[in-house]
Structure 1
Amino acid sequence: MASVFSLQPLPSSSFICPLKTTKFQTLQSFQKPFLISSFQSTELDPKIPQPVQTFWQWLCDEGVVTAKTPVKPGIVPEGLGLVAKRDISKGETVLQVPRRSEEELSEIQVLSFAGTQLLSETMSVKDYWQNEFRKVEEEVILRNKQLFPFPITLDDFFWAYGILKSRAFSSIGSQNLMLVPLADLVNHSAKVATEGHVQEVEGPAGLFSWDLLFSLRSPLELKAGDQFLVQYGLNKRNADLAFGYGFIEPNSARDAFTLTLEISESDDFYEDKLDIAESNGLGKTAEFNVKLGQSLPPTLIPYLRLVALGGTDAFLLESISRNDVWGHLELPVSRANEELICKVVRGTCKSALSGYHTTIEEDEKLMEKGNLSSRLQIAVGIRAGEKKVLQQIDDIFGERELKLDKLEYYQERRLKDQVTLC
């Protein structure tokens, strides 16, 4: 896999791991919204699918939206979205909803995502949800067949997961997810450069009660007819956008490759290394997102040096202060240590690049032709971005290899300090 490589300063020490599968929290229960009055919905574009029109009418009847709601569903370039019914000021609240307490895949993966981290993540999540479905099927579905109007299949389960993944919002201050009617029509825009559009505020949840409201504010000033757009996440990679929402941005800053490093439990100095890592906000495993055109994460190389530390360099682990050890790791430790991390990282990059069945140049030509389907365009964009980042990492450590004889190492720095003291 592209995200795994081994380093052997002592006994075998593998320190880049496969992606971990995320386990999602249970959804909060969805109760019936508050009732106000039967409000007739504003006339919608007749091109909007009938189910959406029916749902909109239900939201109106139930009082989730009223005549004062400044947005409504509309046909937009992305498909469906929310458009402004009137001018909207920046920061204005546009929506408040009561908060409630293998065929195509195979083709796309093999032809386009082969070798990518997105493929690895997708397969990992797929395996996880297949196992979850088997549990639910055995413990709930098969034991209560009379409660379900139709058989529930694995495809149904994946559909439900897809709806959750692409439409759910994170509950403020927790990891719980929630589905919010109407708000899930809001689309993403790269032009929105801020986050924090979602709030939870107290407000009227009925004629005689108050409750937490899901509040959505406009990050931009809008004119009547403009689409209401938000930012899905400034730190999300293109792979994250593709996996969660089914699109990518042309912005190269979204192209990234995640290195997951690990301190091996078989390492003779495992406990000491783990203690040092934890003292500096890291752990047994640590993920580093390397982005195209940007510097390496500041803690990446020190962590690499820590994992690779061994032999005559291991004396550094005996320092009384763990912060002192990390301070030493922020600078080259020894030629052997520095050479090892360069060779291993470069070897990993080359191995990962060989896992793709096309070159960067071939991907760019495919995208220039402009005749790819939307799914293939996403796939080619992601794999091209990953390869560019891998090439960037290889170049960085390649340049570092050429400078090994010119770097100043720990013993030389210590000798200088002693001379200065004398």
Structure 2
Amino acid sequence: MAEAASVTTTLYYYSIFTSPPDRSRTSSSSSVSVRRRNPSSLSWVLRCSTNTSFPWGCDTDSLENASALQKWLSKSGLPPQKMGIERVQVGERGLVALKNIRKGEKLLFVPPSLVISADSEWSCTEVGKVLKRNSVPDWPLLATYLISEASLMESSRWSSYISALPRQPYSLLYWTRSELDKYLVASQIRERAIERINDVAGTYNDLRLRIFSKYPHLFPLEVRLPAMDGNVALVPWADMLNHSCEVETFLDYDKSSQGVFYTTDKPYQPGEQVFISYGKKSNGELLLSYGFVPKEGTNPSDSVELSLSLNKSDKCYFEKSEALRKHGLSVSQQFPLQITGWPMELMAYAYLAVSPPDMRRNFEEMAAAASTRTTSTKDMRYPEVEEQALQFILDSCETSISKYTKFLQGIESLDLDVTSPKQINRISFLKQLAVDLCTSERRILFRTQYGKRPGPGSGRFTDGAEILRRSLRDMRNGELRALKILNGFRKLFK
């Protein structure tokens, strides 16, 4: 960034592609893994001071910058498209069908010349050489690339693209620590966000010590960059596509043309918004990485982390904790709950947590089954502690539900002293995101209490006929009936 040595702004680049989708598709013979980023859905985070010396991005609903990007892309080799950028209800701006689009039709066809990858040519070639010579991973490399190009303003080839990026996204990585603590106090996703931010800061510190401090004339800006491996790329036109939980299509890479495309899994009429999938993620994961929460009940992949812990007063606490440690688990664990049920690992942990001393011979087996590392498909059951295990899960659900309820009941009383219109708008939006997330997560916890039990198979959410509260009720009714029968026999033989 030699040309940018006079730039006085400080960019805090918490994340570009903060969480690359888990299910990006790669041709079996290709060498490029195409990752999607949707600026309208706020999947990257940029924070800059008010004395910015060069423009960066635009409002998330800006059509002027997006239209300018489309014109530039067309002049630069993007083939004629069946989609155009318009304001939309989902994502503020997105790609809308201009013509009839058939199911199974290939769209986009972004040529390699318009894809930003680790092999892209740097305007400041010396910077690129230094980063590659030091084996900087692709994600921080691409983040530094965009900052370098942005500092060149209109002289950068990518100025139209950079101008179309969102200036103020709402990914959790953009929230302050106090906002995370205040609005997500009931959700486990708060811990995930803090961990991600710490990872980003750690990666930046590593790069600062190894590279930035040794070449101050090339790196005058302070950046925070993510540590993510993989051969990845930015796709300027494709990243205008918004996410839908009802769509399962992903970006693909064509080795022969080296271009990026995707195949629709449903037809679209002119005027309809065209969607893509960011992967089967929970509402919390979508908020963490992209800054939005789907409408309640629309995400079949939604889940909530249920926290379980061993009781420190347990006579076998040390033995159980050691068994867990051997299998990579701690005394406090989180397990995902879905509407359809919970994983077998959770049930195994519950068995371990409630087992009495005379079952210590089973501790190792239970701990192994509670670990996702196990490959066993055994439907493990311990009838002697079945009731206690179910009650343990139920109690844990109720504890979590009470946290969500307390937060949702008190949300309106938070931040009553804020008077700045700008702050009020931001806080109002963050509150709504928090309410949407916490409402959806609490709904899953409620459903778990009355929902379906898991079946055999490690880590699977499978349908079952039993219901948690009903199971407990039936067990206790059965015990009562057995006791009555036993008492009847006793009276008979007196």
| TM-score > 0.5 by shorter chain | yes
* CA RMSD after TM alignment: 4.6
- Give the match for residue 380 of structure 2: 329
Q: Does 1:73 align with 2:73?
A: no
- 1:4-403 maps to which residues of 2 (within 5 A)? 48-63=62-77, 65-67=78-80, 69-77=81-89, 78-97=91-110, 98=112, 100=117, 105-106=176-177, 108-148=179-219, 150-153=220-223, 157=224, 177-190=232-245, 192=246, 194-204=247-257, 211=258, 213-233=259-279, 235-252=280-297, 254=299, 255-259=302-306, 268=319, 284=329, 288-292=335-339, 294-306=340-352, 308-315=354-361, 327=378, 329-334=380-385, 338-339=387-388, 341-356=389-404, 358=406, 373-393=428-448, 400-403=471-474
Q: Which amino acid aligns with 1:129?
A: V
Residue 75 of structure 1: how far off its partner (Å)? 2.7
Instruction: Write the distance in 1 (CA, Å) between the matches of 2:202 and 2:364.
Output: 45
Cα drift, residue 176 of structure 1:
5.2
Q: Secondary structure at the match of 2:216?
A: helix
**Structure 1 residues 253 and 309: CA distance shift in structure 2, 3 A:** farther
- State the alpha-carbon separation in 1 of the partners of residues 108 and 405 from structure 2: 46
For residues 256 and 344 of structure 1, do their structure 2 counterparts lie closer, same or farther at Cα, with a shift above 3 Å needed? same
* Cα deviation code 1:301-320 (max 9, x no counterpart): 2443256545222445799x
Task: Provide the rounded CA distance (Å) in 2 between the counterparts of 1:195 and 1:142.
Answer: 44
Deviates more, 1:299-308 or 1:79-88: 299-308
Q: Are the structure 2 counterparts of residues 289 and 318 from structure 1 closer, same or farther at C-alpha, using a change threshold of 3 Å?
A: closer
Give the gaps of 5 or more residues in structure 1: 1-21, 31-46, 166-173, 205-210, 409-422
Asked whether the 8 Å contact 1:189–1:230 carries over to 2, the reply is yes
Structure 2 Cα separation of the partners of residues 328 and 103 of structure 1:
43
1:318/1:257 Cα in 2 relative to 1: closer, same or farther (>3 Å)?
closer
Aligned-partner residue type, residue 84 of structure 2: K
- The amino acid across from 2:384 in the alignment is V
SS in 1 for 2:70: helix
Distance in 1, Cα, partners of 2:95 & 2:377: 50
When residues 152 and 84 of structure 1 are mapped into structure 2, their CA distance, relative to the original with a 3 A threshold, is same
Aligned partner of 2:103: which letter? K
- Are residues 196 and 407 of structure 1, via their aligned partners in 2, closer, same or farther at CA, if it must alter by over 3 Å? farther
Contact 1:305 1:333 in 2 (8 A): no
State the 1:92 CA deviation. 0.8
Identity between Structure 1 and Structure 2 (%) = 20
**Structure 2 CA distance for aligned equivalents of residues 60 and 218 of structure 1:** 22
Taking the aligned partners of 1:318 and 1:132, their CA distance within structure 2 comes to: 37
Q: 1:135, CA displacement in angstroms? A: 1.6
Query: Would the aligned equivalents of 2:103 and 2:267 in 1 still touch at CA under 8 Å?
Result: yes
CA separation in 2, counterparts of 1:232 and 1:273? 34
The 2-side partners of 1:351 and 1:144 are apart by: 52
1:407 CA displacement: 6.4
How far 1:109 sits from its partner (Å)? 2.5
- Cα distance, 1:300–1:228 mapped onto 2, change above 3 Å: same
Mapped to 2, the partners of 1:328 and 1:52 lie a distance apart of 53
Question: Residue 363 of structure 1 contacts residue 384 of structure 1 at CA under 8 Å; is this kept in 2?
Answer: no
Counterparts of 1:92 and 1:53, CA distance in 2: 24
Post-superposition CA distance 1:383-409 (Å, at most 9, x none): 12223333444566555554554569x
**CA offset at residue 136 of structure 1?**
1.7
Residues 350 and 392 of structure 2 are in contact (CA less than 8 Å); yes or no, is this contact kept in structure 1?
no
TM-aligned CA distance change 1:329 to 1:271, over 3 Å: farther
1:116 and 1:383 in contact (8 A); partners too: yes
Report SS of the residue matched to 1:358.
helix
Q: Taking structure 1 as the reference length, what is the TM-score of the superposition?
A: 0.61
Cα distance in 2 for residues equivalent to 1:29 and 1:94: 19
The verdict on how the C-alpha distance between 1:151 and 1:271 changes in structure 2, with shifts beyond 3 A counting, is: closer
Which whole-Å CA distance do the structure 1 matches of 2:93 and 2:216 have between them?
35
What is the rounded CA distance, in whole Å, between the counterparts of 1:394 and 1:384 in structure 2? 16
Report deviation, 1:224: 3.1
Name the CA distance, whole Å, in 2 between partners of 1:119 and 1:198: 29
Deviations 1:33-56 (A, max 9, x none): xxxxxxxxxxxxxx9555434433
Contact 2:19 2:289 in 1 (8 A): no
Cα deviation code 1:163-221 (max 9, x no counterpart): x99xxxxxxxx96543212101101234x3x41333222333xxxxxx3x322122322
CA spacing shift, 1:361–1:181, aligned 2, 3 Å = same
Give me the whole-angstrom Cα distance separating, in 1, the residues matched to 2:211 and 2:194. Answer: 25
Q: CA 1:119 to 1:272, structure 2 compared with 1: closer, same or farther past 3 Å?
A: closer
The one-letter amino acid of 1:152's match is: E
Q: TM-score, normalised by structure 2?
A: 0.53
Q: Number of aligned pairs?
A: 324
